[in-house]
Structure 1
Amino acid sequence: MASIKKEQILESIEFCEKNGYFEKLNDIYSTLPKGDCAGCGNCCMESVGINLIEFLNIYRYLAEKQELRECSIERIVDYYFMELMKKNSCPFRDENNRCLIYEVRPLNCRLFGHWKKEDYNANLSRVIEQNMNYKKDMKNLYGVDISDEVLNFSIKYCETFKPEKNYLSKKERLNFEDEIMNLDARILGSELIDIPYKDRGIVEYFIESMLYSDFAYKVKIRITKEKNMNVINKIKRILLTK
């Protein structure tokens, strides 16, 4: 059983299609500033935070592409269950540093590079501090040691990206986020999908759409302790036969 039920996802997608919410999402994306990206893929290394409507948009996109969907499931499972042991790239980045879901990539991906350097580095410092606290918590609560490869990894500020105009202020970035959150509020207000409000990355959304979140997390802890990759392969086989 999954935390985010498939029938509720499909009903929510239908609701968004009926009310033109995906078109509204694309309208928001279309107002984002442009920039010159070198395509190095160095920024594509996280389970980037996304909104509910963005998850539904990506879910719908993958549903129409079976081969890509199956490939993505394998990568998502690897990323999630190996997250504390090994630093993998975003499951939607391919071997050529290309985005497999570029057409429907979420807001945070589209805004990367548009941050002012001082804002980005201040946020990065907070993330590093949070990671250190998380390491202590995982050790105290579960006896789990997060690998140095994972703990010490960070995405540095992109010096090569050049915005078409100016870098965005925090207020400007949050304005885009607010617009998308308004769409989320309409979906949640429909009561078609029963989903607790919390910050989720793209990987977490998909894991919760396939597995019960508490179960998945307990298995992740077990895999990290035992370094048992066979469990990951078994999960892949089960999910790909659904």
Structure 2
Amino acid sequence: MTSIKKKDILNCIDYCKQNKLFDKLNKVYSNVPSGDCAGCGNCCMESVGINLIEFINIFEYLNENKELRKKSLSNVIDYYFLEFTKKSACPFKDEDNRCLIYEVRPLNCRLFGHWKKEDYNKNLSNVTQRNIEYNKIVKSKYGFDISNEVVNYKIKYCEDFIPQNDYLSKSDRLGFADELMTLDSNIYSKGIIDIEFKDRGIVEYFIDYFFNEDVSYSIKIRVTKDEDVREIAINRLKKILL
């Protein structure tokens, strides 16, 4: 059984449409200040954290374009199961550095560039330290090291992005996040989806849609440790799932 059931997602989509939660989500998005972005795609290099309402919104968007769905989710599978061996770009970035889901891109993507440099670099240091600690846990439990490229990869502060007005303060950024948490709480409180409330990246949401969490992680460990089965296993998963 998967961690996130398809019938629950479909029920959530219906609920969000009936109660205009997607409209409320888009209103939050529209209030994020704009800025001048060079479009280099250097920031699109991770499984960015998203909210439940955002996952449901992206799921519905992909359902309306089957070709885009297959391409994107194939990239998602590659990203997740190769995550310990190499650093990959966001699975929703194409070969021309364009976002495949730009219209429904998550809040964290919209906020990138709006940070003050000192705030951003402080957060970046915390992320790197968490990566180092997680690598120690994996090494102790499974006997291998996550690739140094992955552990030490940093999405550098963007000097080229020019915000519309001024940079957002931490409280401003958290204010947008709180609004999405309120929308999430509305969905959870109705009991229409049976998943654990926790932080997930966009990749992890879709992987939990495909698999039970323990199963997907077990496969990930196996293909990381056994290079001979890696390509065969991943291609087989794609044939089954897509």
TM range (shorter): over 0.9
Note the alpha carbon deviations across 1:44-77, whole angstroms, 9 max, x for none: 0000000000000000000000000011111000
Counterpart CA distance in 2 for 1:84 and 1:4 is 23
Counterpart CA distance in 2 for 1:117 and 1:67 is 39
Structure 2 stretches lacking a partner, 5+ long: none
Q: How does 1:23-102 map to 2 (within 5 A)?
A: 23-102=23-102
Partner of 1:110: 110
Counterpart CA distance in 2 for 1:197 and 1:24 is 21
Counterpart CA distance in 2 for 1:24 and 1:36 is 25
Counterpart CA distance in 2 for 1:159 and 1:196 is 38
Identity fraction in percent: 61
Are positions 1:163 and 2:159 aligned together?
no
Counterpart CA distance in 2 for 1:135 and 1:214 is 18
Note the alpha carbon deviations across 1:25-44, whole angstroms, 9 max, x for none: 00010111110000000000
Partner SS state of residue 200, structure 2: coil
Counterpart CA distance in 2 for 1:45 and 1:161 is 17
CA contact (8 A) 1:144 1:221 kept: no
Note the alpha carbon deviations across 1:1-47, whole angstroms, 9 max, x for none: 31100000000110000000000000010111110000000000000
Partner SS state of residue 44, structure 1: coil
Task: Compute the displacement of 1:141 (Å).
Answer: 1.0
Q: How does 1:131-142 map to 2 (within 5 A)?
A: 131-142=131-142
Aligned residue type for 1:235: L
Counterpart CA distance in 2 for 1:39 and 1:197 is 33
Structure 1 residue corresponding to 2:237, chosen from 217, 220, 235:
235
Aligned residue type for 1:234: R
Task: Compute the displacement of 1:207 (Å).
Answer: 0.5
Structure 1 stretches lacking a partner, 5+ long: none
Task: Compute the displacement of 1:212 (Å).
Answer: 1.0
Counterpart CA distance in 2 for 1:73 and 1:177 is 26
- Range 80-89 or range 222-231, more displaced: 222-231
Task: Compute the displacement of 1:151 (Å).
Answer: 1.3
Task: Compute the displacement of 1:229 (Å).
Answer: 1.7
| C-alpha RMSD of the superposition | 0.6
- Range 10-19 or range 146-155, more displaced: 146-155
Partner of 2:181: 181
Aligned residue type for 1:119: D
Counterpart CA distance in 2 for 1:230 and 1:119 is 43
Counterpart CA distance in 2 for 1:125 and 1:28 is 28
Counterpart CA distance in 1 for 2:236 and 2:217 is 16
User: Scaled by the length of structure 2, what TM-score is found?
Assistant: 0.98
User: Scaled by the length of structure 1, what TM-score is found?
Assistant: 0.98
Counterpart CA distance in 2 for 1:7 and 1:25 is 22
Aligned residue type for 2:86: K
Task: Compute the displacement of 1:144 (Å).
Answer: 2.2
- Runs of 4+ with >4 A deviation: none
